[in-house]
Amino acid sequence: LRERLAGAQGGFGRGLLALLSRDRLDEDTWESIEDLLLTADIGVAPTQQVVDNLRTRLRVDGAEAGDPRAVLRDELIKLVDPTMDRRLQVTGADGKPGVVLVVGVNGAGKTTTVGKIARILVAEDHSVTLGAADTFRAAAVEQLATWGERVGVEVIRGPEGTDPASVAFEAVKHGVETSIDTVIVDTAGRLQNKQGLMDELGKVKRVIEKQAPVTEVLLVLDATTGQNGLIQARVFSEVVDVTGIVLTKLDGSAKGGIVVAVQRELGVPVKLVGLGEGPDDLAPFDAGAFVDALLG
Ligand code: GDP
């Protein structure tokens, strides 16, 4: 995973390092550094902040100019914020299952992510049930059923066009009755309008909470969508209380700076990153490992 991340993101990190390692850090160099940070989708304000910090810490005229790699590593880790709690809350209290609600627009990678999370939890000896509440896309239900078979967990589904809330209800009911640790609910991502989304996800959440606590609301975002992804993220965060972000397709995007931008935008941590289409291509996000992959 680390190699794949370095492959996609490494150009950015190594490019920065090469610029900062120049003998003379002139204005042109600082401008190039700023451009690189902006191109990676870090955002304007954070870019300014990190450039200011780097300038202060790497003044070449000063006697105590730091080692560029160490200083850059330090600044990038600060930017990603290593203090955020990125653990997934997957179990409930009082013998009830934890419920992980997975939201995001179609195509972001929700269904794939649900399958991958199930696989991780099963490997950690958790019992898992999946709810196929993306009932508007028959393909999504089939896709989730395939993941269920692959991972060896039960998938609760309804006929095409069933009310998503009723599938979510049945999935959690099954989880409660069979003392499952975690129910993961895939949802529909039709971003038709904010009110529609609010009504739909609100109802899904309410029917779940009649039976067991929603312990995580994971927003799945496609890292390749840039600013557009950030706008979607804002809409979802206004509709449900997002507790964590899953950034998918980081393998296919050189714009790892979106990690920084989306955390700032929503004030919640990136908890997982998707690095491919395969079952093992999902990793817990770690600020230090991420920055190390960037710097190569
Ligand atoms: P959904 O509509 O949000 O449920 O999205 P899907 O789970 O169906 O995923 C849409 C497409 O993105 C599929 O072709 C997935 O295989 C692909 N995909 C999902 N996550 C990743 C990832 O981390 N990396 C790559 N390269 N592709 C991904």
Ligand 1 atom closest to Cα of residue 114: 7
Question: What's the gap in Å between 225 CA and the centre of ligand 1?
Answer: 13
Confirm or reject: Cβ of 3 under 6 Å from ligand 1: no
What pLDDT shows up at residue 61? 55
Query: What is the pTM assigned to this prediction?
Result: 0.93
Ligand 1 atom closest to Cα of residue 252: 26
Taking residues 54-81, report their average pLDDT: 83
Ligand 1 atom closest to Cα of residue 137: 2
Question: What's the gap in Å between 2 CA and the centre of ligand 1?
Answer: 19
Confirm or reject: Cβ of 75 under 6 Å from ligand 1: no
- Reduced to 3 states, what is the DSSP secondary structure of residue 129? strand
Cα dihedral 120, 123, 126, 129 in deg (nearest 10): 60
Taking residues 54-72, report their average pLDDT: 78
Confirm or reject: Cβ of 275 under 6 Å from ligand 1: yes
Would you give the DSSP letter of residue 274?
E
Calculate the average pLDDT of the chain. Answer: 90
**pLDDT tier at 60, thresholds 50, 70, 90:** low
Taking residues 258-266, report their average pLDDT: 92
Confirm or reject: Cβ of 276 under 6 Å from ligand 1: yes
ipTM higher than 0.90? Answer: yes
pLDDT at 120 over 90: yes
Question: What's the gap in Å between 275 CA and the centre of ligand 1?
Answer: 10
Cα 177 to Cα 15: distance, rounded to the nearest angstrom = 54
**pLDDT tens, residue by residue, 246-261:** 999 988 777 788 899 9
Taking residues 99-105, report their average pLDDT: 96
Phi, psi (rounded to 5 degrees) for 187: -120, 165
Question: What's the gap in Å between 181 CA and the centre of ligand 1?
Answer: 26
Burial class (CB in 10 A: 0-12, 13-18, 19+), 14: middle
- Reduced to 3 states, what is the DSSP secondary structure of residue 214? strand
Question: What's the gap in Å between 276 CA and the centre of ligand 1?
Answer: 8
Confirm or reject: Cβ of 142 under 6 Å from ligand 1: no
Q: Are 19 and 60 in contact (CB under 8 A)?
A: no
Which residues does the annotation place in the binding site?
104-111, 186-190, 248-251
Confirm or reject: Cβ of 116 under 6 Å from ligand 1: no
Question: What's the gap in Å between 283 CA and the centre of ligand 1?
Answer: 15
Q: Are 213 and 168 in contact (CB under 8 A)?
A: no
What pLDDT shows up at residue 64? 59
